[in-house]
Amino acid sequence: MFDFLIDGFGVALSPLNLGLAFLGAMLGTLFGALPGIGPINGIAILMPLAYTLGLPAESALILLAGVYTGAEYGGRMSSILLNVPGDAGAVMTTLDGHPLAKKGLAGPALGLSAVSSFVGATIAIIGLTLFAPLLAQVAVMFGPAEFFALMIFAFASMAVMMGKDPIKTAIGAVLGVMIAMVGVDSGTGVLRYTFGMAELYDGIDFVVMIIGLFAISEILLMLEHANRQDAGDEMPPLGRVMVSLKEVLYCKWTMLRCGLIGFIVGVLPGTGASVAGAVSYTTEKRLSDKEGTFGTGNMRGLAAPEAANNAAAAGSFVPMLTLGIPGSGTTAVLLGALMLYNITPGPMMFSERPEVAGGLIASLYIGNVVLLALNLPLAGLFAKVLTIPRWVLVPGIAILAFAGVYQLHSDLMAIYLMLIIGVFGYLLRKLGFSLAPVILGYVLGGLMEDNLRRALSISGGDVGILWQSGISLGLWIAAVLLLVLPWLLPKLLTRKSLDGA
Q: For residue range 244-303, what is the model confidence (pLDDT) as tens digits?
A: 788 888 888 989 999 998 898 888 776 667 677 777 888 888 888 777 788 788 888 888
Output the pLDDT for position 407.
73
Question: Residue 428 and residue 435: Cα distance in Å, rounded?
Answer: 8
User: HSE-up of 311 (CA within 13 Å, CB side)?
Assistant: 32
Output the pLDDT for position 113.
87
Output the pLDDT for position 216.
87
Q: What are the φ and ψ backbone dihedral angles of 365, each rounded to 5 degrees?
A: -60, -50
Torsion (CA) 231, 233, 237, 241 in degrees, nearest 10: 40
Output the pLDDT for position 298.
85
Output the pLDDT for position 292.
77
Q: What are the φ and ψ backbone dihedral angles of 56, each rounded to 5 degrees?
A: -60, 160
Output the pLDDT for position 490.
66
Least confident of 25-34, 129-138, 415-424: 129-138
Angle formed at CA 466 by CA 465 and CA 472, multiple of 5 degrees: 115
Output the pLDDT for position 371.
87
Q: Are 407 and 52 in contact (CB under 8 A)?
A: yes
Output the pLDDT for position 237.
63
Output the pLDDT for position 419.
92
H/E segment holding residue 191: strand 191-192
Q: What is the pLDDT of residues 427-468, one digit of tens each?
A: 998 898 888 788 878 888 888 888 888 898 888 888 888 888
Taking each helix axis as running N to C, give the angle between helix 436-459 and helix 144-161, from 0 to 180 degrees, rounded to the nearest 10.
150
Q: What is the pLDDT of residues 330-384, one digit of tens each?
A: 888 888 788 888 887 777 787 788 888 888 888 889 989 988 888 777 766 766 7
Handedness of CA 260, 266, 271, 277 (dihedral sign): positive
Q: Are 22 and 63 in contact (CB under 8 A)?
A: no
Average pLDDT over residues 313-329: 82
Handedness of CA 85, 90, 91, 94 (dihedral sign): negative
Q: Which pLDDT band, with edges at 50, 70 and 90, does 231 fall under?
A: very low
10 Å CB burial of residue 364 (0-12, 13-18, 19+) is: buried
Q: Is residue 233 scored above 50 in pLDDT?
A: no
Q: Helices H, strands E: what count in the chain? A: 23, 2
Question: Residue 127 and residue 123: Cα distance in Å, rounded?
Answer: 6
Instruction: Report the predicted TM-score, pTM, of the whole model to 2 decimal places.
Output: 0.76
| Runs of H (alpha helix) within 410-435 | 412-430
Mean pLDDT of the chain: 81
DSSP class of residue 215 equals I
How many other β-carbons are positioned within 10 Å of the β-carbon of residue 296?
14
Q: What is the pLDDT of residues 134-176, one digit of tens each?
A: 777 777 777 888 888 888 887 887 776 655 677 888 888 899 9
Output the pLDDT for position 499.
61
Bin 173: left if φ > 0, else alpha if -120 < ψ < 50, else beta. Answer: alpha
Output the pLDDT for position 119.
92
Beta bridge partners of 62: none
Q: Which residues have C-beta within 8 Å of that of residue 499, sequence separation ≥ 6?
A: none
Amino acid at 291: E
CA 117 to chain centre: 15
Output the pLDDT for position 479.
84
Output the pLDDT for position 501.
55
Q: Are 258 and 303 in contact (CB under 8 A)?
A: yes
Least confident of 39-43, 178-182, 232-236, 445-449: 232-236
Q: Please give the residue that has the higher pLDDT: either 89 or 230.
A: 89
Spans of all domains in the chain: 3-500
| Runs of H (alpha helix) within 140-238 | 144-161, 166-180, 206-210, 217-224
Output the pLDDT for position 170.
84
Question: Residue 501 and residue 407: Cα distance in Å, rounded?
Answer: 68
Q: Please give the residue that has the higher pLDDT: either 118 or 375.
A: 118
Q: Which pLDDT band, with edges at 50, 70 and 90, does 230 fall under?
A: very low
Residue 271 DSSP SS3:
coil
